[in-house]
Amino acid sequence: MMLVSARHDALGVRAAMLTGIRSYVVTGNTWGHPGAHSQRARKLTDREIEVLQSVANGMSNKDIGAYLGLSALTVKSHMARISRKLGTGDRAKLVAIGMREGIIS
């Protein structure tokens, strides 16, 4: 599970981790050149956006596959392409980029 928050709160993060949260993303912070992710984000296919939205909803690759009618291997392939296009393999960072760019909610 992942927690997405608009602010960083160390105590809140610690409490969330104790309840099973494994990733924590603070939205609204931009590192690097503004718009650096925009061009890459526009290259996502509709299916990749569906997969990324499912990740944001806390689904595992297996859950995403069942939800979208795909094999886990196909989901893994989509995740690899999303990671390559957005420049990170970290699921939490992928969600943060997607939210910041308005690709997912």
pLDDT single digits (tens) 16-55:
667 777 676 766 544 444 455 456 567 899 999 999 999 9
Q: What domains sit in the chain, N to C, each tagged with a CATH number?
A: 2-100 (3.40.50.2300)
* pTM given for the model: 0.65
What is the average pLDDT across 70-94? Answer: 96
- pLDDT-based confidence at 85, cuts 50/70/90? very high
Look up residue 65 and give its amino acid: G
How far is residue 1's CA from residue 85's CA, in Å, rounded to a whole number? 23
How far is residue 60's CA from residue 14's CA, in Å, rounded to a whole number? 22
